[in-house]
């Protein structure tokens, strides 16, 4: 295989493998050091956030609407029993994600109701006899992630959420099992090839869907199918250069997939209604097994999966929570804290649960530090001032407005470029069929 062919193949491998590497790197980081408000926890133990997320939480597009409870799952020790408390009608969702970032199950207000529930999470190929066959979730990989989100209206609502977190339980079906954890990549591999080493080791430990295995075989010339010593420790310079160039090209392809099309209408909000539809193989409880929510072209699904992992790792399908992002104002100019803006809603976004607009800095997609500790604004924000016609006009700017109404409806921006994200929890049909259009942001 010549150099251009190797580079092209390496780029394909990056797009294909980025979600696995990004997701398991976060699992590894979580296990060792926690994540912002979430303390570190070993596999199969819940970690509960002690507050709503803020700028210190270095996680891509983290939301400020819900309080997180997260557990990294390792079913090598056997099935896990998950007990969910009654939330008395309050919104929550428990999302089960495999090692490839496929959303394989949802439990919660939309999917399974808000009453008390007990579920069994089992490893692939498990042949046991569950006490309730209708309450079983099969994880396609032995390692995965449970992400819980409990709606929280602010500090005064936090004690209610803490009580729900305390009642959420995860324990082994049969105590005494051993947790295998993540296999360790070769530490002596040069940094420029570390991505491929992680992909090689983790791809073998956590096989993908059957339909993907044939596609993976294409990557044999890259060393990704080698199951012995790492081929990247003392690789030939020419081969190393081809892999490094391909990695850079693949990374750029993923970044491009997170950007709006160049010919998009000025001020258009880009809705991610089908960004998470790449899972077509493992659709468990709470997912919608419908052609509308599946990307039929697997190659296109790989790129969508990578873009989702880059811009919103462990995000939900749109039918659980809809996300929309905009990059420019109504005249097509980039959004920046150097200017002041307004966002007017004639009618509130059609949400079955609630909605919010969250502010993020660019290029990291982190929450923006500000003097009033307001990172999102929405229908649960106290003190908002509506117009006489029921409309709501938000003010987006870096400095606090002097006008009392603008100050009450102020969402602070960073001094540089920013990206707002509109989230609609339990979106109504008008959102999912594209009828509802988010109004553009106007620069003052």
**Token output for 106:** 């949802």
Q: Is the pLDDT of residue 225 over 80?
A: yes
Q: Is residue 29 part of a domain?
A: no
Q: Would you state the pLDDT for residue 404?
A: 97
- Summarize pLDDT for 416-441 with one digit per residue, the tens: 999 999 999 999 999 999 999 999 99
Residues 288 and 398 in one domain: yes
Q: Would you state the pLDDT for residue 154?
A: 86
Q: Is residue 327 part of a domain?
A: yes
Peptide bond into 23 cis (omega under 30): no
The CA dihedral of 137, 138, 144, 147, to the nearest 10 degrees, is: -10
All residues at 6 or more sequence positions from 2 whose CB lies less than 8 Å from its CB, including other chains = none
**Token output for 92:** 């929550």
Residue 296 to residue 285: CA distance in whole angstroms: 21
Residues 284 and 168 in one domain: no
- Summarize pLDDT for 368-419 with one digit per residue, the tens: 999 999 999 999 999 999 999 999 999 999 999 999 999 999 999 999 999 9
| Residue written as token pair 């079955």 | 352
**Token output for 304:** 């969508």
Q: Is residue 186 part of a domain?
A: no
Residue 205 to residue 383: CA distance in whole angstroms: 52
DSSP letter, residue 170: E
Counting residues of the chain whose pLDDT is more than 90, the rounded percentage is 88
* Whether the Cβ atoms of residue 44 and residue 77 lie closer than 8 Å to each other: yes
Q: Of 262 and 52, which is predicted with more confidence?
A: 52
SS3 state at 189: coil
Residue 276 confidence class, pLDDT cut points 50, 70, 90: very high
Q: Is residue 382 part of a domain?
A: yes
Counting residues of the chain whose pLDDT is more than 70, the rounded percentage is 100
Q: Is residue 326 part of a domain?
A: yes
Residues 427 and 291 in one domain: yes
Query: Which domain range does residue 78 map to?
Result: 43-172
Q: Is the pLDDT of residue 92 over 80?
A: yes
Q: Is residue 198 part of a domain?
A: no
Q: Would you state the pLDDT for residue 37?
A: 80
Mean pLDDT of 54-71: 88
Final residue in a domain of this structure, among 113, 146, 172: 172
Final residue in a domain of this structure, among 147, 172, 197: 172
Residue 214 to residue 260: CA distance in whole angstroms: 32
Q: Is residue 12 part of a domain?
A: no
Task: Single out the residue of 100, 118, 156 nearest to residue 298, CA to CA.
Answer: 100
Q: Would you state the pLDDT for residue 146?
A: 98
Q: Is the pLDDT of residue 261 over 90?
A: no
The CATH number given to whatever domain includes residue 152 is 2.60.40.1610
Residue 35 confidence class, pLDDT cut points 50, 70, 90: confident
**Token output for 352:** 């079955």
Residue 58 confidence class, pLDDT cut points 50, 70, 90: confident
Residues 167 and 288 in one domain: no
- Residue 301 sits at φ, ψ, to 5 deg, of -65, -35
**Total domains in the fold of the chain:** 2
Mean pLDDT of 79-93: 98
Residues 298 and 418 in one domain: yes
Widest CA span of the chain, in angstroms? 71
Final residue in a domain of this structure, among 122, 139, 172: 172
Q: Would you state the pLDDT for residue 322?
A: 96
Q: What is the value of pTM for the model shown? A: 0.92
Q: Is the pLDDT of residue 36 over 80?
A: no
Q: Would you state the pLDDT for residue 264?
A: 82
Residue 197 to residue 217: CA distance in whole angstroms: 16
* Whether the Cβ atoms of residue 79 and residue 121 lie closer than 8 Å to each other: yes
Residue 101 to residue 22: CA distance in whole angstroms: 9
Task: Single out the residue of 257, 279, 251 nearest to residue 99, CA to CA.
Answer: 279
């Amino acid at each position: 295989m010549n150099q251009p062919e190797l580079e092209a193949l390496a780029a394909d491998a990056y797009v294909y493998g980025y979600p696995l590497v990004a997701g398991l790197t976060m699992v590894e980081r979580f296990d060792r050091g926690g994540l912002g408000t979430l303390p570190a926890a070993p596999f199969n133990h819940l970690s509960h956030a002690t507050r709503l997320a803020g700028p210190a939480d270095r996680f891509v597009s983290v939301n400020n609407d819900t309080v997180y409870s997260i557990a990294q799952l390792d079913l090598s020790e056997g099935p896990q029993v998950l007990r969910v408390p009654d939330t008395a009608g309050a919104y929550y969702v428990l999302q089960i994600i495999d090692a490839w970032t496929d959303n394989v199950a949802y439990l919660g207000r939309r999917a399974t109701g808000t009453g008390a529930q007990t579920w069994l999470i089992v490893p692939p190929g498990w042949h046991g006899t569950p006490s309730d066959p209708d309450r079983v979730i099969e994880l396609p990989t032995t390692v995965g992630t449970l992400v819980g989100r409990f709606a929280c209206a602010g500090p005064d609502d936090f004690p209610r959420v803490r009580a729900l977190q305390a009642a959420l339980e995860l324990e082994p079906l049969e105590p005494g099992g051993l947790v295998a954890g993540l296999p360790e990549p070769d530490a002596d591999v040069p940094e420029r090839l570390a991505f491929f080493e992680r992909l090689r080791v983790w791809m073998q430990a956590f096989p993908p869907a059957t339909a993907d295995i044939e596609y993976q075989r294409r990557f044999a010339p890259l060393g990704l199918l080698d199951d012995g010593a790492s081929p990247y420790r003392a690789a030939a310079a020419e081969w190393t250069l081809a892999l490094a160039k391909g990695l850079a090209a693949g990374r750029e392809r993923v970044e491009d997939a997170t950007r709006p099309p160049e010919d998009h209408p000025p001020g258009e909000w880009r809705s991610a209604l089908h960004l998470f539809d790449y899972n077509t193989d493992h659709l468990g409880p709470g997912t919608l097994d419908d052609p509308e929510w599946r990307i039929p072209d697997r190659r296109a699904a790989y790129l969508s999966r990578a873009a989702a992992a880059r811009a919103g790792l462990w995000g939900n399908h749109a039918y659980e929570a809809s996300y929309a992002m905009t990059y420019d104002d109504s005249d097509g100019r980039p959004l920046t804290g150097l200017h002041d803006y307004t966002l007017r809603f004639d009618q509130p976004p059609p949400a079955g649960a609630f909605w919010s607009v969250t502010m993020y800095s660019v290029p990291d997609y982190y929450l923006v530090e500000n003097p009033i500790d307001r990172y999102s604004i929405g229908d649960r924000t106290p003190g908002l001032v509506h117009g006489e016609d029921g409309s709501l006009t938000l003010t987006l700017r870096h400095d606090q407005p002097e006008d009392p109404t603008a100050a009450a409806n102020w969402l602070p921006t960073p001094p540089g470029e920013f990206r707002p994200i509109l989230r609609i929890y339990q979106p109504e049909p008008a959102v999912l069929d594209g009828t509802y259009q988010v109004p553009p942001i106007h620069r003052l």
